[in-house]
Amino acid sequence: MRVTQTMMSRQYTTRVSGALSDLSYVNKQVGSGRKFFKGSENPSGAAKAYQLRRQAIQADDYMTNVTDAQSTLSTKESAMTQVSKALEDVYSSLLSIMDGTKNTAEDKAIVAQQFRSVQETIVKDMNTKYGDKFLFGGSNLEDVPFELKENVLTYRGVDVSGNTDYVWPDGTATDSNALLSQLAGDTLYTDLGFGLEFKDGEVISSSAYNTATAGINVIGYGTDDNGLANNMVVLIGDMAAMLDSDCEQSELGDYLTKFKQLKQNVLNATTQTGSDSMFLQYTQSRLEDLQDNIADKISDVEYIDSEEAIMSLNSVDYMYQALLKTGQNILSNSFIDFMS
């Protein structure tokens, strides 16, 4: 078959067009840093990139949850620290009564008033909010957890002393102690990337982080076998009533023992927030490593090495320029000038 000038020109033009397209593509890679721009150009790479992007979004969500949990926990710790400070003031005043430093009826009345002020302070601290969420209501973040009226403290509507049954809106009654125990075990889980799992419709506790804090686990609930309140606020109110009646020092002995026990419970709860904070810091560090790892993988899959891209550009440009020079023997000078 005879090869005509027209056939040679057509083949040459096709090759130059392809080289020009390659040059444009590599230029685009150098400018953007990307290996490919459509999924069809690299189906396996695009599929892997999609999976990695989803993992990155999940990791970002986990990090957001950790950051929110840390901020919430910090606010809880601050509130409990304030409660502990108020209890130290109560303890100091109580000791001054017990050692006779303040032993007149007037002194006792003044201390009683101080105790009632501390009651209100503790309730306010335990009703602390972070944003628009109450922190010590367990899983109930919307309603005020504690309410104090005439030395009767309720938690989510239930008398914390456990001495009276809780009456539901339909008129049925439930033992308050059983209900308080249930509320004390309240949970509210958030996913921090531990592999969230469910069993029988319930979250497996080891697969998520419990952000709920029931305030009654901090300041107590119920009544002990001696009839003394297991709740700090109620106990302080009972001691205030004793002082108003000008009680003897000896009558406060059991109250002092009970107070020290409940004060230690508050301190233990505050200390636990420190342990939880360390756990969240570890989780944050783990997630930061995960984010870095995913980012590196995304870079490997989607982005081209700059040196490699420039070398490729030089190579493609060299081929293109070589084709143009070769074409001088095939096409007219005017066409070559146009292509240049």
Alpha-carbon dihedral 76, 79, 84, 88, rounded to 10 degrees: 170
Structural domains of the chain, count: 1
Looking at per-residue confidence, does 26 or 228 come out higher? 228
Phi, psi (degrees; rounded to nearest 5) at 38: -135, 150
Looking at per-residue confidence, does 165 or 182 come out higher? 182
pTM: predicted TM-score of the whole model, two decimal places:
0.79
Asked if residue 207 belongs to a domain, the reply is yes
Asked if residue 35 belongs to a domain, the reply is no
Mean pLDDT for the stretch of residues 218-243: 96
Helix H, strand E, coil C: the string for 252-263 is HHHHHHHHHHHH
Q: Of 304, 318, 295, 338, give the one whose Cα is nearest residue 28.
A: 304
DSSP assignment of 131-154? TTEESSBTT--SS--EEEETTEEE
Cβ atoms within 10 Å, residue 204: 14
pLDDT at 46: 77
Res. 208: pLDDT tops 70: yes
Residue 166 contacts residue 176 (beta carbons within 8 Å): yes
Looking at per-residue confidence, does 308 or 150 come out higher? 150
pLDDT band at 16 (very low <50, low <70, confident <90, very high): low
Asked if residue 44 belongs to a domain, the reply is no
Asked if residue 306 belongs to a domain, the reply is no
Res. 218: pLDDT tops 60: yes
Phi, psi (degrees; rounded to nearest 5) at 331: -110, 170
Question: What is the three-class DSSP state of 167?
Answer: strand
Q: Convert the pLDDT of each residue in 66-98 to its tens digit.
A: 999 999 999 999 999 999 999 999 999 999 999
User: How far apart, in whole angstroms, are the C-alpha atoms of residue 230 and residue 155?
Assistant: 14
- State which amino acid sits at residue 16: V
Which secondary-structure segment (H or E) carries 155?
Answer: strand 152-155
Asked if residue 279 belongs to a domain, the reply is yes
Tell me the percentage of the chain whose pLDDT exceeds 70.
Answer: 76
What is the sign of the dihedral through the CA atoms of 60, 61, 66 and 69?
Answer: positive
Q: Convert the pLDDT of each residue in 245-291 to its tens digit.
A: 999 988 999 999 999 999 999 999 999 999 999 999 999 999 999 99
Please give the residue range of the domain that contains residue 263. Answer: 50-297
User: How far apart, in whole angstroms, are the C-alpha atoms of residue 81 and residue 73?
Assistant: 12
Res. 337: pLDDT tops 90: no
Give the domain CATH number at 217. Answer: 1.20.1330.10
Asked if residue 19 belongs to a domain, the reply is no
Asked if residue 238 belongs to a domain, the reply is yes
Asked if residue 29 belongs to a domain, the reply is no
